[in-house]
Amino acid sequence: MTAATPPFLPNLLVSDGFEGYRLVDCGEGRKLERFGRFLVDRPEPQAMGRRHRPELWSRADAVFMGMNAEDEGSDGRWKFAGRPVETFPAAYRGVAFHGRFTPFRHLGFFPEQAPHWDFMVERLKGLGRPAKVLNLFGYTGVASLLAAKAGAAVTHVDASKKSIGFARENQALAGLTEAPIRWIVDDAVKFTAREERRGSRYDGVVLDPPKYGRGPNGEVWDLFTDLPHMLELTRAVLVEKPSFVIVTAYAIRASFIAIHELAREVFSDLGGRLESGELAVREEGGGRLLSTSLYSRWSAP
């Protein structure tokens, strides 16, 4: 049996926002979003149309300046209308965490991934048994916390010691300090290879790799050259009857078809369903869609 091809490609996963987050407007290379009480203006290369609500942009509480939207390796800065802040409260499915005004235009989490979070939680609840989840390139841990709340034992890996520190703060804020989460500062490729040799196996794997990155010991990550090997390692650390694999790719000049075909090649022996496409956010009020990233995800029958 080979992995099923969806009836059409791409499959579009759309988030309409959630409590504490909305896409308010977008256009001319930027997007205007509401995070809690903050109206935030930041770069977005996919926002190529005109702004539909131009009167709102001047009311932004925080504006990101000084960096090309596609350059993830350089610092920019936030300009605040009032007193500068570093963090703000956020939550999803009852899990509290910090949003953060980072020097890379991000806000400490990616709200467009809400459909992936829902998918993961429902798969874990449907297993009917304790599960093990591996979260690679895990950043500040929102997916890890949601998986842990759903009853999984989680191994969270990120090359950034600072991100792991933020993830631990989120764990405390969420009231999940006793949850079975291992926080690992390591290179994702090297760690997964060691897990394969140790015989460690997982029911589900979440991968959110950057386009380019460096490990804690100077290891170089390039998505185009390293993702094939990373997916092969992922396949090697799955249990005999796994539940899911989720792969998301941001800020790359590629088609979803490239990632879909790669995932189909690696996971075809598992059967089940493989879907690929784009993540998008809809403007509040049922407006336009703003594409954010490419994805592929596999799930068991």
Domain that holds residue 48: 21-100
Q: What is the pLDDT of residues 199-240, one digit of tens each?
A: 999 999 999 998 988 888 888 889 899 999 999 999 999 999
Domain boundary among 74, 100, 126: 100
* SS3 state of residue 42: strand
Buried b (16+ CB within 10 A) or exposed e, 97-116: bbbbbbeebbbbbbbbbbbb
Say what the pLDDT of residue 2 is.
44
How many H-runs (helices) and E-runs (strands) does the chain carry? 6, 17
Report the CATH number that the domain containing residue 61 is assigned in CATH.
Answer: 2.60.40.1180
- Digits of tens for pLDDT over the chain (301 positions)? 344 444 446 899 999 999 999 999 999 999 999 999 999 999 999 899 999 999 999 999 999 997 554 444 456 899 999 999 999 999 999 999 999 999 989 999 999 999 999 999 999 999 988 999 999 999 999 999 999 999 999 999 999 999 999 999 999 999 999 999 999 999 999 999 999 999 999 999 999 998 988 888 888 889 899 999 999 999 999 999 999 999 999 866 778 888 899 999 999 999 999 999 999 999 998 889 999 999 999 999 8
124 and 231: one domain?
Answer: yes
- Is 74 in the same domain as 222? no
Residue 105 lies in a domain: no
Residues 89 and 116 in one domain: no
Q: What angle do CA 21, 25, 30 make, to 5 degrees?
A: 100
For residues 87 and 122, membership in a common domain is answered with no
The number of folded domains in the chain is 2
Q: Which of 224-259 are b and which e, b meaning 16 or more Cβ less than 10 Å from the residue's Cβ?
A: eebbeebbebbbebbeeebbbbbbbbbbbeeebebb
Is 42 a domain residue? Answer: yes
Residues 80 and 201 in one domain: no
Last residue of a domain, one of 80, 100, 120: 100
